[in-house]
Structure 1
Amino acid sequence: MLKTPIARGVALATLGATLAIPTMAQAAFIEDTKAGLELRNFYFNRDFREVANTENSKAEEWAQGFLLRVESGYTEGTVGFGVDALGLLGVKLDSGGGRTGSGLLPADGDGSADDYSMLGLAAKAKVSETVLKVGTLQLKNMAISSSDSRLLPQTFQGAQIVSKEIQGLTLDAGYLNRANHRNSSNNEGLAYGGKGNRREGTNAAGNPVLLDNAAITEDADDFFFAGGSYKLTNDLTAAYYYSELENIYKQHSTNLVHILPLGDNQSLKTDLRYARSKDDGSSIVDNKALGAMVTYSISGHGFGLGYQKMSGDTGFAYVGEVTDPFLVNYVQINDFALQDMKSWQARYDFNFASVGIPGLTFMTRYITGDNVERGFGQSEGKIWERDMDIGYTFQEGALKNLNVKWRNATARGNVAAGNNIDENRLIVSYTIPLM
């Protein structure tokens, strides 16, 4: 780490020095501070294959992101105090009329904004192995997960407490009431992001059809979650979370992960997931989501098979906007979480370090889903998607630690307008350690 006086000054200015803390108490606060600046360059191209059903024939934008992360140490004493800071800046490099909507940049009239920014702070306190944070949070658990698949990450406002007092047991609970989305500078109220049901209706000719009733307009002021994970054995981990989006849904999520060592650089990983979602007073949410993923790994190769099934009166329930749902078949474009949908996944990974090329990785997968009712006289609803990721992190030289990733996806379906998409993403990122 580069611990220069300038870097320390930047970090302390961002955090806000607490002059009331005695010098000795400040020692760990300063010395344990970590700071880094990530430079993220992002090109996004999504080609809509059904031009008549979309406002734009494609979404194509290029932007530069700056992500400053500062995590202070803790003051000395039984209760240690600290502050974390997150500074985000996105700058438009290329966009234009008819090409917006990539999720990289916020809308600005008929185009995209030239830049946008956000500063988030979180106060934290630590007692033994228990940490409480209040303020700007990035979360990743079964109940809610901040999306980081565009230029800048999604963040939330609220509080979270994580405790690891017992070996192998992690307890996690929190409360959220605002969200700053991936292409926004403003914290907004929470909303529903999951799938609704399909109800009977009629078309212009008076013939019966099924109408999409996914939209839930009820605002949610609060989101609560509580749960944790426990390592039952060295190879088996169990997890459970309860979550509630006020007035919209209540959810129980369970997860069981088992890794069976097979010797000679081989293992078999089994990931089982089940979630039960119900309405919370003013919605139609009713969903049971079952998922399973089995992955066989051998000498850099990974072969995976997945299955996901939705049942109940609606699709899967999760917080909007564009949070990452805890689903086996949540992939680059689709989540395969429509009402009654069944989907299968085949996946292959390869780490080239096993053949003497460290830093180079490859992934490809194919997901197909069906059993979606489209309405009277219409064929069964189906969607398929094929993804491919190639990434390389430079290992030495002037470009050491520079990461380059190309993500490609093709999706086709007949469920709704916009199912037919070709997409490419090129991401170049580099993190500069400041402290």
Structure 2
Amino acid sequence: MRSRNLPRQWVKCSTLMCASILAVPVNAKLLDDSSARLELRNYYFNRDYREGTAPPREEWAQGFLLHLDSGFTEGRIGVGADAIGMLGIKLDSAPGRSGTGLLKVARNGRAEDDYWKLALAGKLKASKTQFKFGALVPPTLPTLKPNDGRLFPQVFEGGLLTSNEIDDLELTAGRLSRVMQRNATEYTPLTLSPLNRRFQGQGATAEHFDMAGIDYRFHKQWLARVHVAQLEDIYRQQVFTLVGKSPWGPGTFSGDLRLSLMNDYGDAKGGKIDNRALQGLLGYAYKGHSLGLTYQRMLGDTGYANILGADANLINLSILGDFANAKERSWALRYGYDFASLGLPGLSLNSRYISGSHAEITGTRTIGKSWELDNELRYVVQQGPLKNLSVRLRSALYRSNYAKNFIRDTDDTRLMFNYSWNIK
């Protein structure tokens, strides 16, 4: 975020945070436990709409992310700070092809040559409990999945508490107040996603997003989760999850079962929200091969709701669709292969086919049907000066009988080079 545009509250928060840290004598632990990491993301994006007159979205950009994480000062309550500096540079774009989410777009529709932003956060630690405040990139939670699918992650402003005082039990609680989207440099209000015009109050904004959860690892590889959240005066959500894996025969069995309950509450600024999402995944892995079958069903009068810019944390969330319209049913077949079994460590392939049906689409009497095919080939350099360099080629095809007025039939291709260097 450019310093001349820093909101007063952010400047005040950052100033107080820095002052509190500087007021504490620097000690060895604060510095010795600190880390610095430079991450490079080179991203080519092409999205071709297969119907209508909309031109393809095609851009190429380079991103630099500098992660600085301090340790904690000594004492009963340790104090520290984290920072992420982000710089995005345009490598290729043109009027009419912008809007991929890689680059910041000016009012004239042209992608800017470069943009940068700074995310600062303070943190406190007592025993095994940590509180982080300021600019946050929260971990994926059952009620919130921040989007990190372009050059930079989605950044929220707020506070997040995590506690691991009891073995195998983690408590999470937090409040978020604003969001900076992936290709933006300013914070904006938390907004209800308008995807497929699912709700009458699309575009409704909220002052806060509150969340809390309990994760209990009752077995070495199995986790039970209960999480709740509410987007103020828009919706309330409860999510119950059971996920894990176990040896079974010569291979490994995996499972992921989820139930999401969601309804409007308070002033219901987003209109009626009534959704129950049943989701399940069963998988098996053997000698480099992995096979998975998923099922997802939307019950209730409306589709699934989430915050604009964030991903819907659903089993069948895919590259282009979420298969979460009212009454929609979807299943998916997943296949993955690790070529290490053939003597090619670092090379992997993942494919997924998803089919959706019975969807009730707002504004049309059409009973929605859709499908999507996703493929990703990935290679991670295993040794040498470029060790851990990741190369990913991803493609997605999406087709539906209602896409003309909503998510259009789309071909999507992406090529990504990621490299991370630990400076300290």
Which residue identity lines up with residue 283 of structure 2 in the other structure? Answer: T
Which residue identity lines up with residue 40 of structure 1 in the other structure? Answer: R
Taking the TM superposition and a 5 Å limit, the aligned residue runs for 1:22-33 are: 22-23=25-26, 26-33=27-34
CA distance in 2, matches of 1:181, 1:378: 34
2:413 counterpart of 1:424: yes
Which residue identity lines up with residue 346 of structure 1 in the other structure? Answer: L
Counterpart for residue 256 of structure 2: 271
Alignment match of 2:346 (pick from 348, 354, 359): 359
Alignment match of 1:216 (pick from 202, 214, 229): 202
Counterpart for residue 276 of structure 2: 288
Query: Counterpart of 1:319 in 2: which secondary structure?
Result: coil
Query: Counterpart of 1:267 in 2: which secondary structure?
Result: strand
- Please report the TM-score for the alignment, with normalisation by the length of structure 2: 0.90
2:248 counterpart of 1:259: no
5+ long unaligned stretches in structure 1: 1-14, 198-211
Deviation of 1:236 (Å) = 2.8
Counterpart for residue 161 of structure 2: 161
CA distance in 2, matches of 1:378, 1:219: 29
CA distance in 2, matches of 1:277, 1:194: 16
Counterpart for residue 228 of structure 2: 242
Deviation of 1:110 (Å) = 2.4
CA distance in 1, matches of 2:348, 2:262: 36
Segment of structure 1 superposing worse, 278-287 or 403-412:
278-287
> For the Cα contact (< 8 Å) 2:199–2:273, is it kept in 1?
no
CA distance in 2, matches of 1:274, 1:63: 38
Alignment match of 1:100 (pick from 86, 94, 98): 98
Deviation of 1:358 (Å) = 1.3
Identical positions, percent: 41
Deviation of 1:235 (Å) = 4.0
> For the Cα contact (< 8 Å) 2:194–2:203, is it kept in 1?
no
> For the Cα contact (< 8 Å) 1:196–1:215, is it kept in 2?
no
Which whole-Å deviations, capped at 9, do the CAs of 1:87-127 have from their partners, x for residues lacking one?
11111111101111111112211211111111011110111
Which residue identity lines up with residue 342 of structure 2 in the other structure? Answer: V
Structure 1 stretches of 4+ moved >4 Å: 15-19, 194-197, 212-215, 374-379
Deviation of 1:263 (Å) = 4.4
Deviation of 1:375 (Å) = 8.4
Counterpart for residue 148 of structure 2: 148
- Matched residue count: 400
Query: Counterpart of 2:219 in 1: which secondary structure?
Result: coil
> For the Cα contact (< 8 Å) 1:195–1:338, is it kept in 2?
no
Which residue identity lines up with residue 24 of structure 2 in the other structure? Answer: I
Alignment match of 1:407 (pick from 391, 394, 398): 394
Indicate the RMSD between aligned Cα atoms, in angstroms. 1.9
Which residue identity lines up with residue 299 of structure 1 in the other structure? Answer: K
> For the Cα contact (< 8 Å) 1:372–1:415, is it kept in 2?
no
Deviation of 1:355 (Å) = 2.3
Alignment match of 2:331 (pick from 337, 341, 344): 344
Deviation of 1:410 (Å) = 0.5
CA distance in 2, matches of 1:377, 1:104: 33
CA distance in 1, matches of 2:302, 2:365: 20
Counterpart for residue 126 of structure 2: 127
Query: Counterpart of 1:189 in 2: which secondary structure?
Result: strand
Query: Counterpart of 1:112 in 2: which secondary structure?
Result: coil
> For the Cα contact (< 8 Å) 1:195–1:315, is it kept in 2?
no
> For the Cα contact (< 8 Å) 2:366–2:402, is it kept in 1?
no
CA distance in 2, matches of 1:414, 1:68: 44
Counterpart for residue 389 of structure 1: 376
Counterpart for residue 24 of structure 2: 21
1:248–1:376 distance in 2 versus 1, CA, 3 Å: closer
Query: Counterpart of 1:395 in 2: which secondary structure?
Result: coil
CA distance in 2, matches of 1:300, 1:238: 27
CA distance in 1, matches of 2:136, 2:359: 36
